[in-house]
Structures are given as C-alpha cells and as structure tokens.
C-alpha cells in the first residue's frame, strides 16, 4: 500500500512541475514576476486547502512554529536561488544539484539521527539514482564561463532543497499530529515574503502582476491542486517509509516522468544518455522497492 502512495506522490509532483512550466510559459506579465506571483498564489491556496483538510483546525507547538518558520525562509531562499542560478548558467546542472540535495541531505539525516538501516542494496540503489540524474541532464550541462556566483547559488539550491525535505521529516517524527499546521505556517510565511518582494519590485503596480488570462488559469489551477495534494500526502506517508528510500524513489520517479513529458508533450528529442539515465533510474527504483 505504501508504494501505491509513493506512486501517487510521484505522479502529483510530476504534474506540479509540468503545470508550473505551462503556467510560466503562458503568464501574460513580465517573466521576472512569474516566481513571486506564483509563490503568493500557491501560498494562499495551499494554506487554505490544508486548513480545510485539517478540519478547519490549527494547533501549533513552539517546535512546530519553529519548523514552519525555518521552512518558510528556506522555501523563499530556494526560489530565489533557483531564479538567480537559472539566469547565470546551465539549468541542467542546477537541476542535478537540487535533486542531489533532496536525496542526500535527508537520507544522511535518517541514517545518522534516526538509525535507519543502511544496507549494501540500499547504497547501490541510491548511487544508481544519482548516476541516473546526472545522465538525464548531462547533455544540457554547459559550465564553460560560469561565474563563481552561479556555483554558490547551485550549492545553496543543494542545501535549501535538502534542508526543506529534512525539516519536513523531523516534523513528522516529533509532532506528527501538527503536520498540517506546519504546512500552513511554511507556505504562509513564504507567501508573505514573496509578496513583500513583489511589492518592492513593482511598487504601485503590484495588483497588475496578478492579472491572469484564460490561457494560464487552467494550468495554474491544476498545478495548485497537484501541489496541495502532494505535500499533504507526503506528510502522511513520511513516518511510514525509510527516508532514503522515499526521497530517492520520489525524486527519481518525478525525473523519469518529467523526461517523458518533455518527449511526448513538448516534442523534445531524446538522446542515448537520457535513455540510459531512465533505464538506470528504473533499475534503482526496482532495487529500492525490494
């Protein structure tokens, strides 16, 4: 049953990525405003939806409040680093960095602090997924003339994404009954920071940035629904499955589906390197599922 849940999480997060790209492509305003506008809308939607999922209740302890605030700041740092790195260098390389962070940081936490068993088979599965991530992006990686700033933001992406996943895991360990409250705090704070950032950039024309057209509204709606269901399902399943296995399979599965979407929906050519990466990722998921 747990792997059915993992399959749903993979599908939902892949939908979030897909529909977020479609929304970004169809957003009618300035392209540099896509991220803060999306963050504000996402924060409002996920906070209200999670509040409803939780029976319109909000209970928070000091530790949950701390986790929520930390993750809200981390989310903002992640979004900022993603934008900065994306404008300075290879998107494929930064994608590898954030995927590695999501796999390695929480896995290390689980092994060291939660005494989750580490077997040779698990090590092999994780290693193969890291190899798969590299091969699925290697063709687009172009690091020539990349600045030091670019590498700094890539390192920050690795750390931010890893820390975000780790704190979510910590919440389910210490105060699992308040997991929805932490989601609400996290996204509310991230939305507030994004709104302040947007107001600073646009000043008198902030509301104009939220004017959407009919083309982008369906993709935005589907993205928000997918993201809300994904984060709530992830929080439910986290206490039930080994951290290293869950995050490795989840991120690898999303990577595979994203590659397939790019081929079948966006008509991108698939190379031998990507095919090899997909095959290795599938083998890794199979090994970790044993």
Place of tokens 């687009």: 140
Give the chain's residues under pLDDT 70. none
Structure confidence at residue 32 (pLDDT): 83
| C-beta separation of 255 from 133 below 8 A | yes
Structure confidence at residue 187 (pLDDT): 95
Structure confidence at residue 205 (pLDDT): 82
| C-beta separation of 153 from 95 below 8 A | no
What does residue 212 show for φ and ψ, rounded to 5 degrees?
A: -105, 155
Domain ranges of the chain: 2-289
Structure confidence at residue 89 (pLDDT): 85
pLDDT digits (tens, 9 = 90+) for 27-81: 998 888 888 899 999 999 999 999 999 999 999 999 999 999 999 999 888 888 8
Closest CA to 261 of 65, 15, 68: 15
Structure confidence at residue 283 (pLDDT): 96
| C-beta separation of 238 from 172 below 8 A | yes
Number of CB atoms found within 10 A of residue 234's CB: 24
Spatial separation of the C-alpha atoms in residues 218 and 23, rounded to whole Å? 8
pLDDT digits (tens, 9 = 90+) for 271-286: 899 999 999 999 999 9
């Amino acid at each position: 049953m747990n792997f059915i849940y993992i399959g749903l999480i993979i599908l939902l997060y892949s939908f979030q990525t897909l529909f977020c790209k479609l929304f970004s492509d169809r957003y009618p305003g300035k392209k540099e405003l896509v991220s803060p506008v999306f963050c504000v809308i996402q924060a409002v939607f996920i906070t209200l939806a999670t509040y409803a999922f939780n029976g319109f209740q909000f209970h928070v302890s000091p530790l949950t409040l701390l986790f929520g605030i930390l993750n809200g700041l981390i989310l903002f740092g992640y979004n900022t680093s993603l934008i900065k790195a994306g404008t300075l260098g290879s998107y494929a390389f930064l994608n590898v960095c954030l995927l590695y962070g999501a796999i390695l940081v929480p896995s290390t936490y689980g092994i060291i602090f939660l005494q989750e068993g580490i077997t040779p088979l698990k090590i092999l599965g994780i290693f193969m997924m890291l190899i798969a991530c590299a091969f699925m992006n290697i063709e687009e990686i172009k690091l020539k003339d990349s600045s030091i700033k670019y590498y700094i933001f890539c390192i920050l992406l690795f750390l931010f994404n890893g820390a975000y996943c780790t704190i979510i895991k910590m919440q389910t360990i210490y105060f699992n009954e308040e997991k929805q409250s932490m989601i609400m705090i996290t996204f509310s704070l991230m939305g507030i920071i994004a709104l302040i950032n947007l107001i600073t950039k646009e000043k008198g024309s902030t509301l104009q940035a939220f004017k959407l057209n009919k083309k982008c509204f369906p993709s935005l709606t589907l993205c928000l629904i997918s993201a809300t269901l994904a984060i709530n399902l992830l929080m439910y399943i986290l206490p039930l499955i080994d951290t290293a296995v869950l995050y490795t399979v989840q991120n690898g599965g999303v990577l595979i589906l994203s590659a397939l979407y790019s081929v079948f929906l966006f008509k991108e050519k698939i190379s031998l390197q990507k095919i090899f990466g997909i095959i290795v990722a599938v083998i890794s998921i199979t090994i970790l599922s044993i």
